[in-house]
Structure 1
Amino acid sequence: MRQPRRPSRRAFAAIAASVMGLLMTSAIAAPAAAEGRIRIAEQYGLGYLPLHVLRHNQLIEKHGKALGLDIAVEWVQLSGGAAMNDALLSGSIDLGSAGVGPLLTIWDRTRGNANVKAIASLNDMPLFLTTSNPKVKTLKDFTDADKIALPAVKVGVQARILQLAAEKELGAGKHDALDKLTVSMPHPDATAALLSGSGGITAHLSGPPFQYQQLDDPKMHKVFSSYDVLGGQHSFNLIWSKQSFRDDNPKTYRAFLNALREAMDSINADHEAAADAYLAQNKGSLDKGYILRLLNDPDIRFTVTPNRTEVFADFMHKVGAIKNKPASWKDYFFDDLHDGAGS
């Protein structure tokens, strides 16, 4: 049997050159392919208005073009900080958004590894604990017959605020006294259950617009505001990413941050347009006048600058929710905002 002919040296050289060319092309193309794609997860409510404005006005795409980049933006809607962090660590999303508590949890968990940090704050907003139980005037009045709905139990910002309030009212070491009454539910579902009296839900710690909708019902009343618990206005929601996303996609990251700043300026300059963007991205029963009422509330502010986040950090470290105590807010924020007067 004839043996197959071996390729000549010239053929070997041609094959090698071809393979090397393919490898070099792949190596060169890989970073370009990585840049230009961003997957962002948002949640329900007015606390995510800057992201709704980004999406509605295609501001990320606009700022990407200014940097010479066509950016494909993918949006996902999740409920609760735990779901956000799971999705980020699994690689399903690039940017997660939720309250201060979940950010501190994932920052603490990923130090020296994924190094997740906050990009910016999304707002300052008060969070109300509301109830339909006429017997509940303070936290001491809750019994085992009550159920308190939260978007995420134990780890979400609402959960941490409830714990802060419990320690303040019930005493040291009592921060988790009400955890046994909490159940995890998305804000829209919890609002519907609370107002209809279904599922045993008697209270809800939420955020705008849900808490205001609830208080429009005469059978509802407010137990506390988070501004009272924390001693003033504070950041509600933040947005964060892994260090690797920021390092590997500098133009995409920059386009997002520039777009977020423009969204903030747009909201603060034109409440009418902001309300239109919110309604376009959130199909529901609220009308424009209702959204404008909230946007005109001086307790609600849209800013990238973190405010009183260190109160959460100190508390979470004290109760063992995070192992590492940050020296300041700058430890868990990327340095883009470090020149600002955050806290």
Structure 2
Amino acid sequence: MKTLTRKTLALLGGLGLLAASWTAHAEGQIRVAQQFGISYLILDVVHDQKLIEKHGKALGLDIKVEWTQISGATAMNEALLSGSLDIVSAGVPPMLALWDRTKGKQNVKAVAALGNLPNYLLSSNPNVKTIKDLSDKDRIAVPAAGTSFQSRVLQIETAKVFGKDNYKRFDTISVSLAHPDATAALIAGGSEINAHFSSAPFYYQALEANKNVHKVLSSYDALGGPATFNVLYTTQKYHDENPKTYQAFYAALDEAAKLVKADKAKAAEIFIRVQKSKLSPELVRKIIEDPENTYTIQPQRSLAYAEELYKLGVLKNRATSWKDYFFPEAYAQPGS
């Protein structure tokens, strides 16, 4: 048997202490990432009001919270799988893609919804009234061509209009461009970008700033009604190894959603403060008070995405219920 030197034993002992220290402190730490935009308002409220810390203390736990902002689902997913983040956020389709990819492995599932907010396909081309009018001369800006929430919704609608085999019909005229840049291009005109599948607050700005810009399609149209836009998700490992921290996080989300519903003016102030937003308070309140926008942690019509993306072959695993890709804590709330 190989003899261990004193130096090696000391090193192993140190590593053991480190491991023990990490295990002891794993419960009570959470690293949360959100993207940019008013669709993440619930997280802004949680952050501003320190609700995770509040609910942690109620459970006898001092929780250390780290907040990060990242643009794009791809970066979110990579950070989650690498262990750099504990909870990430993105649109329902990117979450479903990771659930599908990690099933039986990391088992990524959704924690909660962040609200029902439509996305609008906008166009400055007066000849484009429906997606049937789009041609090779048009260019549609989306955050990530072919894979983003907006691209997936467009693919779902395209399959309905042109048939399943043609669901990628408009991928070839889609251009990857961040929402702020796409909005600026659409408002200014003169560039190849004459369409944009846009989220709030950007479509509000474009419709107000340029009279030639008009709505062609709402994501609600494609999904049969109001539907969850963004969700929070994590791995089975984090969920199982941090039960109290997870419970505190979920309770914080629930309280934040209730605050937004009860006091929209305060919610608007929080968004502007946390995001250091240059949007006018009037526009922020208009968005929050818009009846199309509902800030809730209850998933709605999320299964519609799963069913349609499975039909198209984007997902290999078929979900028979929204509970297939949500963790059990969410089951206490009505969902779909």
What is the TM-score with the length of structure 2 in the denominator?
0.92
Q: How far apart are residue 103 of structure 1 and its match?
A: 0.8
Count of residues in correspondence between the two structures: 330
SS of corresponding position for 2:221: helix
1:271 aligned partner: 264
1:230 aligned partner: 223
Residue 46 (structure 2) aligned to one of 42, 54, 61: 54
Mapping 1:35-74, distance limit 5 Å: 35-74=27-66
Residue 336 (structure 1) aligned to one of 323, 329, 335: 329
Larger radius of gyration: 1
Q: How far apart are residue 174 of structure 1 and its match?
A: 1.9
- Aligned Cα root-mean-square deviation (Å): 2.2
Residue 315 (structure 1) aligned to one of 308, 317, 320: 308
SS of corresponding position for 1:326: coil
1:11 aligned partner: none
Q: How far apart are residue 197 of structure 1 and its match?
A: 2.6
Q: How far apart are residue 72 of structure 1 and its match?
A: 2.2
Find the aligned partners of 1:165 and 1:117 in 2 and give their Cα distance. 25
The AA in structure 2 aligned to 1:262 is E
Q: 1:36, 1:70 within 8 Å by CA — same for their partners in 2?
A: yes
2:166 aligned partner: 174
Q: How far apart are residue 120 of structure 1 and its match?
A: 0.5
1:205 aligned partner: 197
State yes or no: 1:246 paired with 2:239. Answer: yes
Q: How far apart are residue 39 of structure 1 and its match?
A: 1.5
Find the aligned partners of 1:108 and 1:323 in 2 and give their Cα distance. 7
Find the aligned partners of 1:241 and 1:19 in 2 and give their Cα distance. 33
Q: 2:72, 2:90 within 8 Å by CA — same for their partners in 1?
A: yes
Among all aligned residue pairs of Structure 1 and Structure 2, give the percentage whose two residues are the same amino acid. 47
User: Do the aligned partners of residues 145 and 58 (structure 1) sit closer, same or farther apart at CA in structure 2, a change above 3 Å counting?
Assistant: same
Comparing 217-226 and 141-150, the one that deviates more: 141-150
User: Do the aligned partners of residues 143 and 19 (structure 1) sit closer, same or farther apart at CA in structure 2, a change above 3 Å counting?
Assistant: closer
Q: Once the two structures are superposed, what CA deviation does each residue of 1:196-216 show, in whole Å capped at 9, x if it has no partner?
A: 236521111121111111111
Comparing 141-150 and 321-330, the one that deviates more: 141-150
State yes or no: 1:153 paired with 2:145. Answer: yes
Find the aligned partners of 1:162 and 1:213 in 2 and give their Cα distance. 21
SS of corresponding position for 1:338: helix
Mapping 1:109-128, distance limit 5 Å: 109-128=101-120
SS of corresponding position for 2:165: coil
Comparing 238-247 and 75-84, the one that deviates more: 75-84
The AA in structure 1 aligned to 2:87 is L
Find the aligned partners of 1:180 and 1:20 in 2 and give their Cα distance. 55
SS of corresponding position for 2:135: coil
User: Do the aligned partners of residues 219 and 26 (structure 1) sit closer, same or farther apart at CA in structure 2, a change above 3 Å counting?
Assistant: same
1:192 aligned partner: 184
State yes or no: 1:256 paired with 2:249. Answer: yes
Find the aligned partners of 2:128 and 2:16 in 1 and give their Cα distance. 68
Q: 1:82, 1:155 within 8 Å by CA — same for their partners in 2?
A: no
Q: Once the two structures are superposed, what CA deviation does each residue of 1:138-168 show, in whole Å capped at 9, x if it has no partner?
A: 1122222222111222222211111111122
Q: How far apart are residue 118 of structure 1 and its match?
A: 0.1
Q: How far apart are residue 341 of structure 1 and its match?
A: 2.4
1:12 aligned partner: none
User: Do the aligned partners of residues 142 and 29 (structure 1) sit closer, same or farther apart at CA in structure 2, a change above 3 Å counting?
Assistant: same
SS of corresponding position for 2:61: coil
Q: How far apart are residue 56 of structure 1 and its match?
A: 1.5
Q: How far apart are residue 28 of structure 1 and its match?
A: 4.2
User: Do the aligned partners of residues 29 and 102 (structure 1) sit closer, same or farther apart at CA in structure 2, a change above 3 Å counting?
Assistant: same
Q: Once the two structures are superposed, what CA deviation does each residue of 1:64-119 show, in whole Å capped at 9, x if it has no partner?
A: 22222222222222222222212211222111111110111000000111100000
2:3 aligned partner: none
The AA in structure 1 aligned to 2:55 is H
Q: How far apart are residue 18 of structure 1 and its match?
A: 9.1
User: Do the aligned partners of residues 128 and 323 (structure 1) sit closer, same or farther apart at CA in structure 2, a change above 3 Å counting?
Assistant: same
Find the aligned partners of 2:10 and 2:84 in 1 and give their Cα distance. 35
Find the aligned partners of 2:107 and 2:165 in 1 and give their Cα distance. 31
SS of corresponding position for 2:164: coil
Q: 1:79, 1:151 within 8 Å by CA — same for their partners in 2?
A: no
Q: 1:31, 1:248 within 8 Å by CA — same for their partners in 2?
A: no
SS of corresponding position for 2:261: helix
The AA in structure 2 aligned to 1:309 is S
